[in-house]
Structures are given as structure tokens and as C-alpha cells.
Amino acid sequence: MKIAIVGAGAIGGLLGAHFARSGQDVVLIARGTHLAAMQQRGLTVRNGDGEFTVNPRCTDDIAAVGGCDVVFITLKAHSLPALAPTIGSSLWGSTSVVGAMNGIPWWYFADRHLEAVDPGGVIARNIPLKQVVGCVVYPAASVVEPGVIVHMEGNRFSVGEPDGSKSERVQSIAALLTAAGFKAPVQSRLRNEIWLKLLGNAVLNPVSAVTGATLGEMFQSSEGRQLVRTLMEEVASVASALGIELPVSVESRMAGAAAVGDHKTSMLQDIEAQKPLELDPLLGAVVELADGIGVSVPAIRALYGLAKLRDASSHRKD
């Protein structure tokens, strides 16, 4: 099977490396020094069991998605609108597009548009819904140097059709992931799982970006725990108003996060690297939805404002 990874950074590179090792024909689409290193020395993945190196085709040409059976989009969600027209014009009509990104995905609602997720509707216009397969990403990985990825934990990629059906194509994508060494359950209620992941991403990531705290540090004080609880309860209230049943409670989600210990969230790593933050598809979407359905989220709204300021200040020129 021919596979393309658009945005072959930490998660995309992890996927692509495993696909290549399992014998699939994969092309990694990346840029900068990471791309140059992969082209020159291959892509190395390190984990608790050791490391392995693969040498798939690597390029910065998005048109390379043309002719692929499956395209995984593993970009930061705020990067997709600018690239959607090029991706869409290069796709073949038979290609399945797996959106493996954080936040509320652009395809989530059939009856409403979220400006925070898809400004001006550019993604929806260019990537046909009929070609989309949903995905919730659980592994934690980071690019520790160009061409080298450290896989810290997690090996699950839940997949599902937007309409909840267990189609032949979603089952083939799950089989592809399983053959590459991942757990890939096919979920008929993927929207519930998206909100469970969002419960953490919309709270823990921006709190860490604003405060500089690791996951462990957020839960060391009663004030920190109460802050996280309040924020998660507001996110859960929006989900509930939309008819979403979260698979676990807020307390259970907090306990799971606290157990991770002194881990820097991806958003804190982005602050330290002075990279733009993935705020709108996470926090902005929750605020926009809350406004649209009349749910009060004062703490989330305050966190969104603080995180926006932190993002802007981290890019301020001296």
C-alpha cells in the first residue's frame, strides 16, 4: 500500500518509520533541517527497546500525496488551513485521508462551521468529507535532533468513520496500523474519544504553556488540582451539552495525567522552542462552541486569553 505522511515530525515520523519498517511504500513530507537529516541519514526512532533506522522517501513536495492509497495528516492543526488547497488539489479521488491531529477536527460537524478550526471553511472546501477517516492519537514522541525521534510512551491510534460505520476502508487502515506495531481499535463513537483527548489537551497543554509547569507540578498543590478540575469540568459541560458521553470522569482523567509525572507537554515544548501554539483548534474551538450553545466557560475563556498573550510574548522581537 502507498502511504503519505503530511507533517512528518514527531508523531508523523513515528508513524512513517513504523510503516517503512513493516514493508509499506511510504513517503514522508517534512521541511527544514529535519527533512535534510532524513534525506541524508534516514529516520531513527528510539524507545525503551532500543532504536531502529529506516530510509523512506522524504520530500517537501506536498504533491507527493498524489496516487497514495492513504494520506495521514499529522500537522499541527493550525497549520492545515494554509496547506489544505495544495493537499486537496493533489489528492486522488480514491485516497483515504486520515486526520491525525489534536483538537476538534474540521470534519466533526455536518451542520455547523467552526471558525477557530477551519478559518473561512478552506479545509472543508478542499478536502472532501467522503475521503476523511477520523483518528485520535495517543503516543507521546519528540524530535530530539533532526532525523531522530524519541518515542516515550503510548502506541494507540483509534480510528473511525465520521458516520460511525465500520467500513472496509477504516478496517483496512486499522489493519495497516496494527501490522506496523500499533494498537488501532475501530471506534463507532469516535467523537466521544475526541472529547476525552480534548479534556486533557485543552486544559493541561495551555496551563503548562502559561505557567511553565510539568504535568506532575500541576497536581502538587490543592490550588493546582482545583484549577485543573474547574477547567476540565467546563470542557466536559460543553461536551455534555452536545450530547457527548465521556468514557471516564474528570477525576479519573486528572489521576491519569498526574500519574505521568514530570513530563513537559507538547505545548510547553513549543513555548520553549518559540514555536506557534496550537490554541485555536483546542481552546478556541471550545469557547466558540460554548458561545454557540449558551454554555458558560469563564475559566476556559480566561485561560484562552492568557495563553494567547503567552504565545504572542514568546514571539515578540526585542
Q: Which residues are catalytic?
A: 197
For residue 5, the cross-strand partners are 28, 72
Q: Are 180 and 19 in contact (CB under 8 A)?
A: yes
CA distance 118 to 145: 31
CA distance 283 to 193: 17
For residue 148, the cross-strand partners are 44, 145
- With residue 315 as reference, give the H or E element that holds it: none
Q: Are 18 and 176 in contact (CB under 8 A)?
A: no
Neighbours of 51 (CB within 10 A): 12
CA distance 9 to 15: 10
